[in-house]
Amino acid sequence: MKELKMYQQPLHRDTGMLDVGSGPHLRIGDGLSTVHQRWLIALLPALLGSLYLFGFASLRVFGLTLLFALFFDLLAEKFAPSRDLSSNWSTVVLAIIFSFMLPVNAPWWLIGVGCFFMIIVGKKLFGGVGAYPAHPAALSIAILQLSWPARMDHTDALKGMDWQITLIEPLRLLKSIGSSAQEQYQLLDLFLGRQAAGSAEGLVFLILIGGLFLLFIREIQWQLPIGFLVGLMGSSFLFNLYDPNTFGSPLFYLLSGGTLFMGLFLITDHTTSPVNRTPMFIYGFIAGILLILIRGYSKHVDGIVFAVLLANLCSPLLDMMKPKVEGVENE
């Protein structure tokens, strides 16, 4: 019976006891940081493309954004620690998403102010990942666009570029001279990212690759981008019929500015999008229509962030549409 004693208490290395816990004892993945890292991978193609195209200018924007965002995140964690262990990773993702929509010549203070609003106000004050009601990056860009419209002008930012294309944001030209503006642009150019837009949001092709990756690994659900696509294409088609002078063609809307970036990276954000499948579709659909309305009738040029913020507001309402649970009386 001597050996028996040896097994009597198989000692755990650290605690000296057997570990207990509620099932399931198996879990998949390494937690939230994996989720954020996947988003980073998906953002990578466009990020590299931007570095290739704009070189140091976009490196500066990405670097400064990351620095400011992480600084504010660490500061906030210091004064109000959250239980979100992956907070830094989510901040990195938000920072990259934010910087994609900045003009490449954004001054450092603009980036600093933007990061403050994004991290401190948009993310932390509302309770961090899982709790914020509006997409922090979209919120912050919206604030910047309203406060310093001249600084958020992508046409101005790309003045010095030597591209053999019209160096005006397609949607800006559309707004000022009406739908004849479309003749100034090749759809293929737009698709390949040869258009005046933020540091990376306009790299349609590369954004698409990243988004398809997210869809493929089921990180995001297809209902969101497809709903968005249907809403966008459908409404722009109808508006185009109704007022062909003001509204461009559906494809033109789809390929210019940050449309695809919004459909694949902004409205698909886990925290702000609905959790059920049908509401997801409706949410994407609403976002698509809102985008066209904003582009057509407001003074904002691109308007993706406003469409995102407005759609965010619908999300809690949409989530009240629940699948019917068997055996529970839903009144």
Partner 1 sequence: MAPTLTFPKGGVHPPESKKLTENLAVEVMPLPAELEIILGQHIGAPCAATVAKRAEVSEGDLIGEVSKGLGVPLHAPASGKVKAVGNSGHPVRVSAPSVTITVDQEAPDKQYQPRDWQNDTSQELLKRVHDAGIIGIGGAGFPTHVKLKPPSDNPVDTLLLNGAECEPYITADHRAMLEMAPEIVEGAKILLKILGITNCVIGIENNKPDAIKMMTDAANGTAGDGFSITVQPLEVKYPQGSEKQLIQAITGRKVPAMALPSAVGVVVHNVSTTKAVYDAVVLEKPLVEKVVTISGKGINRPANLLVKVGTKLIDIVEFCGGVKPDLSRVVMGGPMMGFAVSDLNIPISKTTSSVLFLTDEEIDANPLSACIRCGWCLDACPMGLEPKEIGVFVEGNRAEDTEQFGVFECFECGSCAYVCPAKRPLVQFVRLAKMKAKRS
**Residues 119 to 138: which contact partner 1 by CB under 8 A?**
127-131
CA-CA distance, 104 to 79, in Å (whole number)?
32
State which of residues 23, 81, 188, 299 lies at the interface with partner 1 (CB under 8 A).
Answer: 23
Among the candidate windows 25-33, 94-102, 200-208, 253-261, which touches partner 1 by CB under 8 A?
Answer: 25-33
The residue (of 57 and 129) whose beta carbon lies closer to partner 1 is 129
The residue (of 48 and 80) whose beta carbon lies closer to partner 1 is 80
The residue (of 20 and 188) whose beta carbon lies closer to partner 1 is 20
Among the candidate windows 26-34, 163-171, 206-214, 232-240, which touches partner 1 by CB under 8 A?
Answer: 26-34
CA-CA distance, 312 to 272, in Å (whole number)?
6
Torsion of CA 5, 11, 15, 17, to 10 degrees: -60
Answer yes or no whether residue 21 interacts with partner 1 by CB under 8 A: yes
CA distance to 148, 176, 194, per residue, from 187 (Å): 30, 19, 10
CA-CA distance, 158 to 103, in Å (whole number)?
8
* Minimum gap (Å) between residue 23 Cβ and partner 1: 5
Answer yes or no whether residue 7 interacts with partner 1 by CB under 8 A: yes
The residue (of 81 and 160) whose beta carbon lies closer to partner 1 is 81
CA-CA distance, 293 to 323, in Å (whole number)?
30
Answer yes or no whether residue 26 interacts with partner 1 by CB under 8 A: yes
State which of residues 77, 84, 156, 189 lies at the interface with partner 1 (CB under 8 A).
Answer: 84
110: helix, coil or strand? helix
State which of residues 86, 145, 166, 236 lies at the interface with partner 1 (CB under 8 A).
Answer: 86
The residue (of 6 and 150) whose beta carbon lies closer to partner 1 is 6
Rg (CA), the chain: 23
* Minimum gap (Å) between residue 213 Cβ and partner 1: 17
Torsion of CA 34, 306, 308, 213, to 10 degrees: -60
CA-CA distance, 295 to 325, in Å (whole number)?
40
**Residues 165 to 204: which contact partner 1 by CB under 8 A?**
none
126: helix, coil or strand? coil
The residue (of 21 and 160) whose beta carbon lies closer to partner 1 is 21
Q: If we measure between CA atoms, which residue out of 265, 290, 299 comes closest to residue 146?
A: 299
State which of residues 88, 179, 246, 276 lies at the interface with partner 1 (CB under 8 A).
Answer: 276
State which of residues 2, 16, 20, 162 lies at the interface with partner 1 (CB under 8 A).
Answer: 20
* Vertex 146 angle, CA 142 and 147, to 5°: 115
In three-state form (DSSP H/G/I as H, E/B as E, the rest C), the secondary structure along 274-321 is CCCHHHHHHHHHHHHHHHHHHHHHCCCCCCHHHHHHHHHHHHHHHCCC
Copy the structure tokens of residue 173.
């030209």
State which of residues 2, 4, 150, 299 lies at the interface with partner 1 (CB under 8 A).
Answer: 4
Answer yes or no whether residue 271 interacts with partner 1 by CB under 8 A: yes
The residue (of 13 and 299) whose beta carbon lies closer to partner 1 is 13
CA-CA distance, 307 to 288, in Å (whole number)?
8
Burial annotation 73-101 (CB, 10 A radius, 16+ → b, else e): beebbeeeeeebebbebbbbbbbbbbbbb
State which of residues 2, 83, 162, 245 lies at the interface with partner 1 (CB under 8 A).
Answer: 83
Answer yes or no whether residue 9 interacts with partner 1 by CB under 8 A: yes
- The residue ranges that bind partner 1 (CB under 8 A) are 3-4, 6-10, 12-13, 17-32, 34-35, 83-86, 127-131, 221, 270-271, 273-277, 280, 322-323, 325-328, 330
